[in-house]
Amino acid sequence: MNVRNLLLTITGMVTFSACQVEPAENNDLGKYGLNQTVKSIYVDADDDYIRSSHYEAFFNRYGQVEQVRYLESDGTLIIDEKYFYDSSHHLTKVWPIGADGQETGRFEYEFDGEFISKYTAINMNNQEIKRWEYSYDGERVVRIECFEENELRFVTTNTYDGDTYFQVLMDEQGDTLNMGYLRDLAPNKPQSAHSEDFNFDIEYDDMQLPVKSIGTMVDSNGALYWDDILDEAGYATYEYEYDSKGNWTTRRVFFGDERLPGEVITRKITY
């Protein structure tokens, strides 16, 4: 190799290295079941009943989602969501735009240091619809106040015992509406909840992908939903196929001991 080619090779290596960045600490990779930063994923499900059946998500180089396009089964755009971050990689705004190009409202976030302090839903007329304000004890949320039209409507309190927390939901008068014990494996990874309204348990594998759920289902980006078959079958299991980089590309759901087939979700990942 001559000197010129050697210099070009070294320059290319330095440039490539400089372009590689570590994912932000508050990245979205775990939420979407990814083990590394990707450019985009396209998700397609054979069951329109589940939440987010068809969508494509685009990520920045820090592993944070910057756009999600929700689609009809034929590819027609429903909502185009844009995500905005500050210099500390904190999410500051989610801006949904309808298929007609019109703003449908937005969601704004405020942080106190590393922790979210306020979350606000604003309508298309720039009017506040709801606002949630968070209080902490160290790194744990102990109180969430929900306001509608600037009036306090609901208060949620959390009391912790190790990884388990006792949650109470009250109205503005302080009357209890619901209470129960909950446990989260990680952010966006609900593990169990037992109360008057919710009773479920979810098992995860070493990659924090759901492998079994009792009482509720988990969609392709971690949100919970209900399937009528689950009520009779008792539980659901999730089985995966992976690409060469270890990210799942196909997920199949089976119900109960008889392994009744449920939805099949496929993902196309661009690196």
**Percentage of residues of the chain with pLDDT beyond 70:** 90
CATH code of the domain in which 217 resides: 2.40.160
Q: Which domain range does residue 230 map to?
A: 3-270
Residue 255 φ then ψ, to 5°: -110, 130
| pLDDT value of residue 56 | 95
Closest-CA residue to 68 (of 51, 89, 48, 46): 51
CB 107 within 8 A of CB 81: no
Q: What is the DSSP letter of 24?
A: P
Mean pLDDT to the nearest integer, 7-24: 50
Q: Above 90 in pLDDT, residue 64? A: yes
- Which stretches of 20-120 are DSSP H helices? none
Give me the number of domains the chain comprises: 1
Q: Above 60 in pLDDT, residue 253? A: yes
User: How is the chain split among helix, strand and coil, in percent rounded to 5?
Assistant: 10, 55, 35
Measured in whole angstroms, how far is the alpha carbon of residue 191 from the centre of its chain? 14
- Of the CA atoms within 13 Å of residue 88, those in its CB half-sphere come to 9
What's the whole-model pTM score? 0.84
CB 84 within 8 A of CB 91: yes
Mean pLDDT to the nearest integer, 11-18: 40
Q: Above 90 in pLDDT, residue 23? A: no
Q: How confident is the prediction for the chain on average, in pLDDT?
A: 88
The letter for the amino acid at 2 is N
Q: What is the DSSP letter of 242?
A: E
